[in-house]
Structure 1
């Protein structure tokens, strides 16, 4: 199965919020015909209404792929109506947080190929990272197609299995919130040292964004990049002595935070 088959048989997008819209925009720019896309969304945006897709129309009998992008609390209402597409001919690709492969199999049948994906919010600007894994019926071709589709909003990585999904969620799924909190607290610390609030926030945003871009672009690992900007006995070294403290700094704090997120993911998946 490839994109030509998707164009021929059709793609169903179940839910078109921010994540669904970002993916749809990428597919259309990449050449997927709007006429090959069916979108089911009870509250379509004005942008979506203008894309030329089949909006809230009768769905094809056996589309190549159904991409599930509804909120988890809407799943029980939205998914059973697609049960007739289960059984093998249609690939189901889920970007719904917390919804397990076992749940999809219970509704759609165990013979249904299912790929579960965990994207993150930078996907809205094409800078996301998405982890994917499939069930026993998902072939290499299914995973390849899922990767092509999800590459529209950023990088795609493959994990060993669903047992790693809670850890992925805790690192990259929830991770943007950790970075946003770093920005707000860094700016607040600048204000405490005498900077105007708007200047401190501008400096914090640009610093975090620039450092992230440098880390991604550089051939050196982050630990070496840190060393590169840390002069012995200097200002950065004084700050890192606090931040790298094993008892109360980033190492202990982030281990605890990521573990808490992963544990909550496991609870929600039970």
Structure 2
């Protein structure tokens, strides 16, 4: 059975990934060690056999797999010898080359989950170095699949793009949702009703797009062909070049994701 040690186990992302994995028995509680500065981590009360520590060296000694879930700027404070270990990283912008140089690891998986992991709705692209063993890729797939859609990619550079595109979680849709709620309120709709209506709209739209064969472009074209109220709204958004604003946002996010390795 895999013994997993999570450096930064007290962070929100670690918890969002680990709780579904524990619930699905991808990991046994007794085989999980979490480290944090305090050594006391909430959110795991349902699994009292999970071990917690402040000492990363103890965590490494007890683990077959080491998962880094810390901010990239915290790496300078973490000195470990991970030669011969299987390492998983969910840190944005930290390449497998840098992890290897710092810690001596060669068997490395990099992944980019998002904040929807707790709801088991993350899209998590992941990349593995050539040295990673088949049993380890199997563990990585099962671990990330517990919190949503896990997808193996063959280019590490693509992780920078996915950091921008899907690593944002709900943030970009939330920006549009907020604008729709504010417009509804300015149009006289009760704020609570506007909030409820838009949340349900986005839930329904996301569910529909996941379940139908048509692409998002097909759906837009279908409504445009009706030439009704929705077509009028879509036409106005297109004339305002909403696509340009979205492209600019994703380009800026991708540029930020790439800055650490340039």
* TM-score (ref. length: structure 2): 0.89
Separation in 2, partners of 1:196, 1:267: 43
Give the aligned partner of residue 72 of structure 2: 72
Cα deviation, residue 200, structure 1: 1.3
Q: In structure 1, the residue corresponding to 2:146 is in which secondary structure?
A: helix
Tell me if structure 2 keeps the 8 A contact 1:129–1:155: yes
Residues matched between the structures, number: 255
**Compared CA separation, residues 265 and 255, structure 1 to 2 (3 A):** same
Give the aligned partner of residue 252 of structure 1: 244
**Compared CA separation, residues 198 and 62, structure 1 to 2 (3 A):** closer
Q: Is 1:130 equivalent to 2:127 in the alignment?
A: no
Separation in 2, partners of 1:22, 1:163: 25
Give the aligned partner of residue 236 of structure 2: 242
Give the aligned partner of residue 20 of structure 1: 14
Tell me if structure 2 keeps the 8 A contact 1:134–1:161: no
Q: In structure 1, the residue corresponding to 2:124 is in which secondary structure?
A: strand
Separation in 2, partners of 1:267, 1:100: 12
Give the aligned partner of residue 92 of structure 2: 97
Cα deviation, residue 175, structure 1: 5.0
Tell me if structure 2 keeps the 8 A contact 1:49–1:55: no
Q: In structure 2, the residue corresponding to 1:35 is in which secondary structure?
A: helix
What 5-or-longer segments of structure 2 have no aligned partner? none
Separation in 1, partners of 2:227, 2:126: 44
Q: Is 1:47 equivalent to 2:39 in the alignment?
A: no
Q: Is 1:226 equivalent to 2:220 in the alignment?
A: yes
Tell me if structure 1 keeps the 8 A contact 2:33–2:63: no
Q: In structure 1, the residue corresponding to 2:43 is in which secondary structure?
A: helix
Q: Which runs of 4+ in 1 moved over 4 A?
A: none
**Compared CA separation, residues 136 and 127, structure 1 to 2 (3 A):** same
Separation in 2, partners of 1:189, 1:49: 42
Separation in 2, partners of 1:22, 1:121: 7
Aligned match for 1:11, one of 4, 16, 32: 4
Separation in 1, partners of 2:136, 2:108: 9
Alignment of 1:118-157 (within 5 A): 118-157=112-151
What 5-or-longer segments of structure 1 have no aligned partner? none
Aligned match for 1:38, one of 33, 54, 71: 33
Tell me if structure 1 keeps the 8 A contact 2:185–2:191: yes
Q: 1:57-87 deviations in whole A, cap 9, x for unaligned?
A: 7335373211111122222213x2x32xx22
Give the aligned partner of residue 162 of structure 1: 156
Separation in 1, partners of 2:73, 2:117: 21
Tell me if structure 1 keeps the 8 A contact 2:6–2:34: yes
Tell me if structure 2 keeps the 8 A contact 1:18–1:124: no
Tell me if structure 1 keeps the 8 A contact 2:21–2:147: no
Aligned match for 2:257, one of 236, 243, 265: 265
Separation in 2, partners of 1:33, 1:140: 21
